[in-house]
Structure 1
Amino acid sequence: MSSLVSEYAAGTLFGSALFAAGVFAPSTIVAQMRLEDFTMAKAMLGASATSALVVHLADSTGFSAMKPRTPQSVGYFPYDGNILGGAMIGVGMALTGACPGTVFVQAGAGLPSGIFVLGGGILGGLLFVSAQPSIAKLRQGRSNSKSTAELTIPKSMGVSPWLVLAMWEILCFGMLQLLSGFEGPGKQGLVSPVIGGLLIGTAQACAIALTRHTVGTSGAFEDVGRWLRNALSGDASKGPITASVMFDCGIMSASALLARFLLPAAAAQASSNLVSPAVAVVGGAVMAFGSRLAGGCTSGHGISGLATFSWASLISVGSMFAAGILTAALR
């Protein structure tokens, strides 16, 4: 029980940071994919730089072992699951104006499209657990899908992780300087995107202190989907209350309180005009399925995974934004 409380507390801190940064707004996420607003990119860069420092301090001091995200395969070649799953997340983001983490902020804040995306995400989780046996069978039948390469950039290059960390911090700072000239259409959050990113990284530190692991939000879709599948099969003995579900409940709770008391106009944003219910449900299902196929989402890969310099996360995030930008351009 205490571990579930810790997950919930960590979720409230993470949700508060996402809300404060303003990256939950559907218009902001869609504009990012259209390369019209770089609020999301700025926040992610700030969060990644902070998280990388936090993760390596926790790992090097022995406080907790920070495991990198592992390659995901559907059976054809190494990382094909990361590529396909990441692309599905990007498509879903461009269609819905949400990601597997911010959808919980949107739903908690009462944004209409977010509630439909969340419903689609649960459907996507159900579809994924139903497809798992087929994916596992395909993977087992193809030996060339197994990767023997090192999981992280420092290990594969044979260099110190602290050297890579220093280079990563410089890269993130340089990218933030480059993007500083690109201003969005208006302030969506309580703080600037960069400060919001620092808050997200701080929430990462708190999450590690409370739970001994990095943040991730998409596992709840799989957990709830598995419970629904079992319930539909007549076995509802084990409820859907897992660590991932409690973490995301914390995000929703914090967002609901902040939307009510600090930013009451959040629910009035034009998300319903931006995303129709049908598109929100379909896009949410695609996004959630992809997040589980890739083994992570914008939080698990984009904030936590990149902080460990995982190749799987780098490939997944690249696929997300490539597919999202392409989808936005074709709409």
Structure 2
Amino acid sequence: MDNTLSGVAMGAALTTAGVYSPDIILSQFKFSDFTMLQTFLTAAAGSTLVVTLSQALGLTQLPPRSATSLGLLPTRYDGNLIGGALLGAGMAISGACPGTALAQLGVGVRSGRWAFGGAVLAGIVWAGIQRRQRQAAAAEKTKKQAAATDKDTTEPSLTTTTTTTKPCPSGPSLDTFLGTSKPAAATVLESTLLLALFALSRLTPATAALARGVPPYLGGLAIAAAQAISLVLRKTPIGASSAFEELGWYFYPGAARKYTHLLFSAGLVGGAWLAAQAFPTLRPVVEVAVSPVRSVVGGFLIVFGARIAGGCTSGHGISGLSLMSVSSFVTVAATFVAGGLVGLVLN
């Protein structure tokens, strides 16, 4: 129930903010309207305050998001760079991200249904890749154990070793990068986000969301409030792309199946539907035309890229930045740069 309620809050927040709408997302990457970025900056600033307070009070003990590496580039963040770039490209193509695709499904956006289909397909493919990697790792482990057993039967054991499971290391955070305390780093981050928001609002005032009567800063605060609800109820921050991977495992017989993120996503769809029913003016007056092929391709890229990077625009962009994760800064930068470049090419 906690996961579902948290999802309802997030779905309602995305719908209230208007950033679920394909025209808002596509306009951002065409640089014709900055509603999405203004909302994002407000949400990130508000979420940073919420997460920092939660950590300071001991309500949560959340580590920074770890870096993801593919071993393709000479950096530990190549997975974040490549995954973030694919995520941004998919957003510029489809007008959706993993979270907003779910909200579009709830509101009834036609292109969102196709984007959701592409996202589900990406989840299935990603789960299949993970399945093969785990099978290969298990086979390698069995091979090594068999070799060790054969050695033990021919040579006497001189020592006894104990194997302990090490926790997955978290990635570096902004405070370690700057060499300051966490409160000081949080203050720097908050100040930077708010300064960028102020400059952006002065240079390029939003138009689309205001036409629906929802200023970007209110929409951003609604998303930050959804973050607070998630931390209180689930003790974990918001994120959407994991649900597609979780769903993907259901297509493989014998695979371990979970539903925590699926419950959150179901709530997100329901929250978007409720908000749209309660406030019809939140729905797009005219839907931007995004072809089914473009929506499916973009939907696939947003989830596949997000899983490579270890998070999406909510997992890295809102939650990851709030945790001051260096990997999230890298992912978000790659997302917006790649999305902007693809948007310029397409438009």
Q: Is the 8 A contact 2:120 2:300 kept in 1?
A: yes
What per-residue deviation string (whole Å, max 9, x for no partner) do you get for residues 63-83 of structure 1? Answer: 110221110111234111111
Mapped partners of 1:250, 1:189: distance in 2:
24
Mapped partners of 1:170, 1:244: distance in 2:
32
Change (3 A) 1:266 1:150: closer
**1:158 shift after superposition:** 2.1
* Match in the other structure for 2:245: 222
Mapped partners of 2:259, 2:328: distance in 1:
24
The reply on whether 1:250 has 2:295 as its aligned counterpart is no
Residues 188-203 of structure 1 aligned to structure 2 (within 5 Å): 189=212, 191-203=214-226
Displacement over 3 Å in runs of 4+: 133-138
Mapped partners of 2:285, 2:28: distance in 1:
20
Q: Is the 8 A contact 1:19 1:189 kept in 2?
A: no
Scaled by the length of structure 1, what TM-score is found? 0.88
CA RMSD of aligned residues (A): 2.2
Mapped partners of 1:258, 1:98: distance in 2:
18
Change (3 A) 1:157 1:171: closer
What per-residue deviation string (whole Å, max 9, x for no partner) do you get for residues 235-268 of structure 1? Answer: 48x66x6111111111110111221231267265
**1:177 shift after superposition:** 1.2
The reply on whether 1:287 has 2:302 as its aligned counterpart is yes
Change (3 A) 1:98 1:258: same
Residues 129-140 of structure 1 aligned to structure 2 (within 5 Å): 129-132=127-130
The reply on whether 1:212 has 2:235 as its aligned counterpart is yes
Larger Rg: 1 or 2?
Answer: 2
Residues 1-331 of structure 1 aligned to structure 2 (within 5 Å): 5-76=1-72, 77-132=75-130, 151-181=172-202, 182-186=204-208, 187=210, 189=212, 191-230=214-253, 235=254, 242-263=259-280, 266=283, 269-271=286-288, 273=289, 275-331=290-346
Q: Is the 8 A contact 1:217 1:299 kept in 2?
A: yes
Q: Is the 8 A contact 1:39 1:193 kept in 2?
A: yes
The one-letter amino acid of 1:204's match is Q
Mapped partners of 1:312, 1:252: distance in 2:
28
The one-letter amino acid of 2:247's match is V
Mapped partners of 2:282, 2:325: distance in 1:
38
Change (3 A) 1:190 1:224: farther
The one-letter amino acid of 2:337's match is A
Mapped partners of 1:63, 1:106: distance in 2:
32
**1:45 shift after superposition:** 0.8
What per-residue deviation string (whole Å, max 9, x for no partner) do you get for residues 286-315 of structure 1? Answer: 111111111000000000000111011000
Mapped partners of 2:187, 2:282: distance in 1:
40
Which is further off, 206-215 or 163-172? 163-172
* Match in the other structure for 1:142: none
Mapped partners of 2:333, 2:35: distance in 1:
18
Scaled by the length of structure 2, what TM-score is found? 0.85
Q: Unmatched 5+ residue regions in structure 2? A: 138-168
Q: Is the 8 A contact 1:20 1:190 kept in 2?
A: no
Mapped partners of 2:284, 2:197: distance in 1:
29
Q: Is the 8 A contact 1:90 1:322 kept in 2?
A: yes
Q: Is the 8 A contact 1:23 1:189 kept in 2?
A: no
**1:156 shift after superposition:** 2.9
Mapped partners of 1:106, 1:61: distance in 2:
36
Mapped partners of 1:228, 1:134: distance in 2:
14
Counterpart secondary structure, 2:112: helix
Counterpart secondary structure, 1:298: coil
* Match in the other structure for 1:144: none
Q: Tell me the matched-pair count.
A: 312
